[in-house]
Each structure stands twice: as C-alpha cells, then as structure tokens.
Structure 1
Amino acid sequence: MDHDTYSPVPELNQLHEFSASLADYFSQGFELEKFGEASGIDTWSSDPEFLDRFRSFAMANGSGSLYAIWRMDDREDLADLPIVAFGDEGGVHLVATDLRQLLRLLACDRYVYVFPDGISLSDEEEDAEGGRGSGEVREVYVAWLKRQFGLDPAEDPDGVLLDAEEAYGKRFAEWMDRYVEGFAEGYAELTGE
C-alpha cells in the first residue's frame, strides 16, 4: 500500500478524499480516523488474534464509539466484510453487512447510539425538530454516493442494522465468545436465541 493511501480499501480511500474536501460532517457523528487503530477495540481483548480481525476506520458518533471492519474470514476485499460498532458506553454490535451498506446508512444522517444491550439510530423527526443533522453537506454526500457508487440512501436505516444482525449475529457472538467470556450468552439473552 502506498504510504500516502488512507487504507487498503478503495471505497474508503474515495470516501477519505471526498470528506477531506468538506468543511463539515456529512453524517451525524461520523468522522474518518486513522485506519486500523486498535484503541477502543483493545478494551475488549488484547489477544493479538482478536485485534488482527478488526480494522477500525471511523468514529461512529460524537461520544467515542467507532466503526471497524470485522475480518471474519481472509477474503481480500475488505469492503465485502461486515461492519461493527464498538460503543463508548460498552457494547459491540453489527451495523452493516458490508461497507456499501454502511455508506447507504450514513446517507440517512442518523446519529448512532451503541449501548451494551443494543444499537439504535436517532429518530429522524426528532432530529428535524431539534435542528440536528448535516443539512446541505449531507445532500452533497448523497449526490457523491450516487455518482461514485450508484447507491442511494437506505430506505430503511433500521433495516440495515437488522440485516447485518440476521446475516452474521450468531456467528459474530460465537466468535467473540472465544475472546470475551460470556459474550455469546449475553447475545442469546438479548436476542432470545
């Protein structure tokens, strides 16, 4: 990888270049950070095998939660792997089935809350009433997303979270349980599985 390149993920490199051209956030709480940092992830486990399976790349909200790619297998294209959010209040949860789904979720401009017992998005109507949101900068992002990748904002932002959970939730919980004692049990309690 070229030392001037943000990451080994072409889509993230394009997003990095785009966001560097903006004077403000294009999605509430989202901010690209140094690619691949373990800070925040290492509070769950310091096992090198555990840390090697995550590639952080952005803040998920303004309070310290972060997004990371979960390298659930050794495929080359990291953009095809699930995205998780590590919460600043605790909790780690699946967010999107892959990077493109996260990009679509970001276009909805909803604040992400990551708690030990789940992940949720801010209410769109309450955001509008409270004057929260990224406004015109979000519209620039939506246009860029369509032009760059042919993608539109997610029609159902909560559905993006649910799709990730349905696709990978049980597998993720079982994998995490190898490094975080009781993780699978806690997952089963939350989901009723």
Structure 2
Amino acid sequence: MTEDRRFPPALAAVAECAFDYDDGIDFEPYAEFSSAEETTSWIRAWTGNQELDGAEFRVFGQDGTGGLAMFWTVREGAPLTDQPVVFFGSEGAVGVVARDLSAFLWLLADGVGPMEAVEHTDLDGEPSEELREIAEKFAADHRQSGADVVAEARAEFPDFESTVTAWCR
C-alpha cells in the first residue's frame, strides 16, 4: 500500500476539464484528494463498518449522485499512478474501473466515466477531444478503448466486489 497523497498532474489536468452530463460522462473531478478524515468517515458510512479507516483509498472525484471515484492502493510498493481506479456508487454499486491511471485517462477519453464503467453494460461513450489530448500527453503508449480498459481491470481484480461486500456490516 502506498502512503502517497500527492495529486498526480494527469488528474489535475482532468480536473480542469468541463464535464457535461449531456455528453455521457457523469463525473465531477476534484482538484485534490479528499482528506484522510473525510475518507475514513465516508468508508465507515458506506460499509457500516466502524473498524475501517479507508487508508487504502484516495478519493479524486464523484458523480452527480455522490458516488465516488478513487485509487485503491492495493499494489504493495507501487506508485499511486499504478494503482487501480475503483468506484463506489451512492446506491451500493461498486467495481473496478481501470487497472491504473493511464487506463483511466483512456476510459475518459473514450467517453466513459467511472460510474458508467460500473453501472452500465453499454460502454459506447461520446469520445472527448479534450480528454483524448490529456490521455495522449500523459499515457500515449497505453491507448485502448473504454471497453478494453474495463475488461482488463475486471480480469485483474475479479474479487473486488466481494472484498468490499465482506467489509459491510
């Protein structure tokens, strides 16, 4: 698990983009991570488990209903940008979105947000030129479709949902 709380430049670039729900991505990126205290409060409320502290998560955005997108720092010793991106929906949906930040950038560029990646089966979004430029700047050699991003993440972390369910009280 990484203790890194520095906001990656690629996410800062994403935070400067205007997301329009009418374009198909319900995502509101943050300009910095939620505090450790906010994350602890959130994970305890979401799971009903007062023993959790949420230290393995770095929350960096939300959808319009309050579902949260975050890094899950599960890869021991790996940099924050190499950690998987996950989503916890406001109504209980949960899932892995991308295997790392590079993949997440291409997911967004393909017109798919974290909520859509978890809650929808149709991942045909409206590609964004602005987000494609960010993906090319920060992850040019990792280009892939949104559907491939989600498929790879789910294949690598097939037990994420059951892990989260086990935390719930």
Please give the TM-score of this superposition, normalised by the length of structure 1.
0.65
Structure-2 residue corresponding to 1:63? 65
Structure-2 residue corresponding to 1:92? 94
Q: Is the 8 A contact 1:112 1:122 kept in 2?
A: no
Over aligned residues, Cα RMSD in angstroms? 3.1
- 1:111-151 CA-to-partner distances (Å, cap 9, x unmatched) read 55469xx6325553xx6xxxxx5x7xx21221232133315
Residue identity over aligned pairs, in percent, reads 23
Match of 1:52 among 52, 55, 68: 55
Aligned length: 155
Structure showing greater relative contact order (alpha-carbon pairs closer than 8 Å, 6 or more residues apart)? 2
Aligned-residue offset at 1:90: 0.7
Structure 1 CA distance for aligned equivalents of residues 71 and 123 of structure 2:
25
Q: Is the 8 A contact 1:69 1:83 kept in 2?
A: yes
Structure-2 residue corresponding to 1:16? 12
Aligned-residue offset at 1:165: 1.4
The structure with the larger Rg is 1
Amino acid at match of 1:145: A
Match of 2:153 among 161, 164, 167: 164
| Unaligned 5+ runs, structure 2 | none
Structure-2 residue corresponding to 1:139? 129
Aligned-residue offset at 1:153: 5.4
Structure-1 residue corresponding to 2:26? 29
Aligned-residue offset at 1:55: 1.2
Structure-2 residue corresponding to 1:191? none
Please give the TM-score of this superposition, normalised by the length of structure 2.
0.72
